[in-house]
Amino acid sequence: MTLKEIVMFGWKKKQQVSPERDAVTWKFSEIEVTQDKDLPDFLSLINQAKIDGVIIKNALPKLQLDKINDKIDALKNIMVEATDFGCVVGRTLDGCARTDLESAYFPETDRISNFFNQVLGIKVEKLFESVVTKISGDRKVTQPVYSNGDKYKAATLRISKPGREGMQSHIGNEFITYLPQLEHIAGVVDPKDRFSFFFLLQKPEIGGELVVFDLVWKNTPEHLVADMAVVKKKLEREEYLNNFKSMNVNMDAGDLLIFDGGRIWHRVRPSEGDMDRITLGGYGGISRDGKGFNYWS
Ligand SMILES: O=C(O)CCC(=O)C(=O)O
């Protein structure tokens, strides 16, 4: 069975929410949510592949951002998972592949949420839900709840160190090969075609942009995503992607980006200068009944 067949087999009994994406549109809408007027349903626009993503300017108001900047030093050496680009605060659902979620993932959920609140002064859930509700087409924006009653993590923090290689190329749909961990969430949302989101908390002096490539999941050669290629074929994937047109997505500190990371190849450029690139993010999807938007990390 091919990887794509395994994926289809795994979820064939479940309602398929998103249509196939055939191509990148190169369209990233830019909006402000401070305005009171009704905003379009950007979640559907991304889901239907009419646009690639949306940048919500100043989702973190300037005042709050200044307060975060004062506290960012406190992040050094705290609860980190080391990575090639720097480190991550909080273990992701994908990162708990083939472990027992009840012991490896959920016990950390409250601690991480309290950490973001106490150390950075960000109530991630409240902030994300209040902003995204305005572009959700009246969908309720919530964290899914696991069978044991625990909520999934709302977000994890990614710290990219200047001079390192940046975040390697990947595509969200490849992570569905971690089927056992996604079994529960697959009942709520379609984890295939998930969106990626992140708040840019600190912008590096040079570089650090998200790069999207002119390659979608549908056209991805299977050997580049099968059998943990994310680890085993890192170089080959980068070389392959170099043949495709790409675009840098420019953001400022305080902006929130939601994009079709499940179906569009992307990476983060290396950065230079004295400042770390810091993002707070996760994934999301329109719920299976179409009435909600669920997010997790
Ligand atoms: O946090 C970031 O800067 C990038 C996130 C990303 O690549 C993803 O969510 O797929």
Q: How confident is the model at residue 51 (pLDDT cuts 50, 70, 90)?
A: very high
pLDDT category of residue 56 using cuts at 50, 70 and 90: very high
Say if residues 80 and 278 touch (Cβ distance below 8 Å): no
Ligand 1: nearest atom to the Cα of 196: 9
Task: Please give the structure tokens belonging to residue 274.
Answer: 């004295």
- Ligand 1 center from residue 13 Cα (angstroms): 30
- Across the range 203-224, mean pLDDT stands at 97
Please check the confidence at residue 13 and state whether its pLDDT lies above 50.
no
Per-residue pLDDT band for 35 (boundaries 50, 70, 90) equals low
Nearest protein CA to atom 3 of ligand 1, as residue? 279
Look up the pTM and report it.
Answer: 0.92
Q: Ligand 1 pocket, 268 CB below 6 A?
A: yes
Report the candidate in 151, 271, 138 with the shortest Cα–Cα distance to residue 211. 271
Q: Looking at domain 3-7+24-269+279-296, which CATH architecture does it have?
A: Sandwich (2.60)
9-18, 127-136, 246-255, range with the lowest pLDDT: 9-18
pLDDT surpasses 50 at 27: yes
pLDDT digits (tens, 9 = 90+) for 264-278: 999 999 999 999 999
Pocket test for ligand 1, best of 266, 276, 280, 297 (most atoms within 8 A of CB): 266
Would the CB of 167 count as within 6 Å of ligand 1?
A: yes
Where is 272: in which H helix or E strand? strand 271-272
Q: Decide whether any atom of ligand 1 lies within 6 Å of the 282 Cβ.
A: no
Task: Give residue 18's pLDDT.
Answer: 78
The pLDDT of residue 202: 93
Taken in order 107, 108, 111, 116, the sign of the CA dihedral is: negative
Q: Is the CB of 158 under 6 A from ligand 1?
A: yes
176-197 tens-digit pLDDT: 765 667 778 888 888 788 999 9
Gyration radius of the chain's alpha carbons: 18
Atom 9 of ligand 1, nearest CA residue = 196
Residue ranges covered by each domain of the chain: 3-7+24-269+279-296
How many angstroms does the Cα of residue 169 sit away from the middle of ligand 1?
Answer: 10
Give pLDDT, residue 12. 47
